[in-house]
Amino acid sequence: MDKRKGRTLVRKRTEAVYTEQESLETLFKMFLDYKVSQGLRERTIQDHKKHHRYFAKWLSDQYPALKPSELTPQIVQAYISFMKVDKVQFQGHPFSPSKNQEEPKVGLSPSTINIRLRSLKCFLKYLYDHGHVQKNPLAGIKLLRVDEDEIGAFSEQQVAKLLKVVDKKTYAGYRDLALMTLLLDTGLRISEALSLTIEMFDPTARLLTLPGRVTKTRKLRQLPLSPETTKLLKQLVQENKHLFYPDTPEHIFLTAFGDPLKPTIFSRRLRQYGNKAGISSSRVSPHTFRHTFAKFYILNGGDPFTLQVILGHSSMDMVRKYVQMYSEDVKIQHSKFSPLKRLPR
């Protein structure tokens, strides 16, 4: 007798196989484990953690009983609106400038919101691709448009003021001067600059060689140095060997205790220098030095293709923004210094 007779035959599969019992934090840990297995750098992992904390905190405040499978585009849009209109800037940050302000600023910049959205987009895509949610609530949501003038840079006068307020008689002051000069001379990312070791620095050839393990694009990059920057770095390396003997520090930029300098420490010191120099019209941060290098490279007649190589950009998109932004400055420079200005009429 056929045992299958009268029983229902299943021919179709469900659209997705997923479970609802995992919490958002459990799923996020699974996401991190997956990203670690893909070889993501520690800094990228830490950025994912930081951006997830922002979203998870807002979600628990607004929708405390919400399950991950219940996330919708409307909820994500509400989070974007919160960041754009209501989020207090630097809230919970240990070096928050709002502590000294009677009314803290609210509303994050479009570029900051986009950074957090990219991280959230990556997480939600993982949930969808691995069957934890039936729909990706961020699939149809675009990043915010960012105005070109949000890319800030220092003026020549501001750079001079910053370098002038540094106390070169102290170890930390001299180190900061060398680091700021390096950033201005090369346009290095702060993470790349603070990853520099003695073996990457060739004072004779006046050259830095950055292996793929420290660059954002994972590609080796070589950067020429000016005589002034070379002299400062050479002196700093010699002082490090003398001050921290018998230890032999590998990194070039160290704290007063001989540990590798962290971006957060240098960023805080930069803000202090900016306040001391009376600079308020530009954001005083390590990345502003990178923009400043690109600005003056273009204004001084440098070609964009070489600039792309020096900055280590994987595409011309960002370099194209620099060129477009400073094209008006180039016109002004041209009107002042064109050879035709000196020809007899």
Answer whether 294's CB lies under 8 Å from 321's CB.
no
State how far the Cα of 200 lies from the Cα of 214, in Å rounded to an integer: 11
> What is the C-alpha separation between 139 and 190, in angstroms, rounded?
33
CB 186, CB 223: distance < 8 Å: yes
Crossing angle of helices 42-62/24-37, nearest 10°?
170
Q: Cβ neighbours of residue 142 under 8 Å, at least 6 residues apart?
A: none
Which structure tokens are listed for 175?
A: 């180190």
Angle at 89 between CA 63 and CA 52, to 5 degrees: 45
What is d(CA 251, CA 261) in angstroms, rounded to the nearest whole number? 9
Q: What is the CA radius of gyration of the chain?
A: 26
174 has pLDDT over 80: yes
Say which residue the tokens 């000016």 belong to: 226
| d(C-alpha 289, C-alpha 55), whole Å | 30
Whether the bond into 246 is cis, omega within 30 of 0: yes
Q: Residue 5: what pLDDT?
A: 64
Q: 110-135 pLDDT, tens per residue?
A: 989 999 999 999 999 999 999 999 99
Which whole number is the average pLDDT over 89-106? 61
Do residues 183 and 159 lie in contact, with contact meaning Cβ atoms separated by under 8 Å?
Answer: no
Mean pLDDT of the chain: 86
- Tell me what pLDDT residue 200 has: 97
In this structure, are residues 276 and 192 in contact, taking their beta carbons and an 8 Å threshold? no
3-class SS string, the chain: CCCCCCCCCCCCCCCCCCCCCCCHHHHHHHHHHHHHHCCCCHHHHHHHHHHHHHHHHHHHHHCCCCCHHHCCHHHHHHHHHHHHHHCECCCCCCCCHHHHCCCCCECCCHHHHHHHHHHHHHHHHHHHHCCCCCCCCCCCCCCCCCCHHHCCCCCHHHHHHHHHCCCCCCHHHHHHHHHHHHHHHHCCCHHHHCCCEHHHEECCCCEEEECCCCCCCCCCEEEECCHHHHHHHHHHHHHHHHHCCCCCCCECCECCCCCECCHHHHHHHHHHHHHHHCCCCCCCCHHHHHHHHHHHHHHCCCCHHHHHHHHCCCCCHHHHHHHHHCHHHHHHHHHHHCHHHCCCC
Q: What is the pLDDT of residue 140?
A: 85
Mean pLDDT in residue range 196-222: 94
pLDDT for 17 equals 46
State the Cα–Cα distance between residues 25 and 123, nearest whole angstrom: 11
User: Over the stretch 4-44, which tens digit does the pLDDT of each residue have?
Assistant: 666 666 555 544 444 445 899 999 999 999 999 998 888 89
| Ramachandran quadrant class, 206 (left: phi over 0; alpha: psi -120 to 50; beta: rest) | left
| Amino acid 98: pLDDT | 47
Q: Which domains does the chain have, with CATH numbers?
A: 24-146 (1.10.150.130), 156-337 (1.10.443.10)
Task: Please tell me the predicted confidence (pLDDT) of residue 336.
Answer: 63
Q: Look at 334 and 220; give whichever has higher pLDDT.
A: 220
Instruction: Render pLDDT for 287-338 as a digit per residue (tens, 0 to 9).
Output: 999 999 998 888 888 888 898 999 998 888 878 777 766 666 666 666 666 6
Of 1-10, 91-100, 268-277, least confident by mean pLDDT is: 91-100
pLDDT of residue 7: 66
> Residues with Cβ < 8 Å from 73, sequence gap 6 or more?
137, 138, 140, 141
pLDDT of residue 1: 56
Least confident interval from 252-261, 266-275, 305-314: 305-314
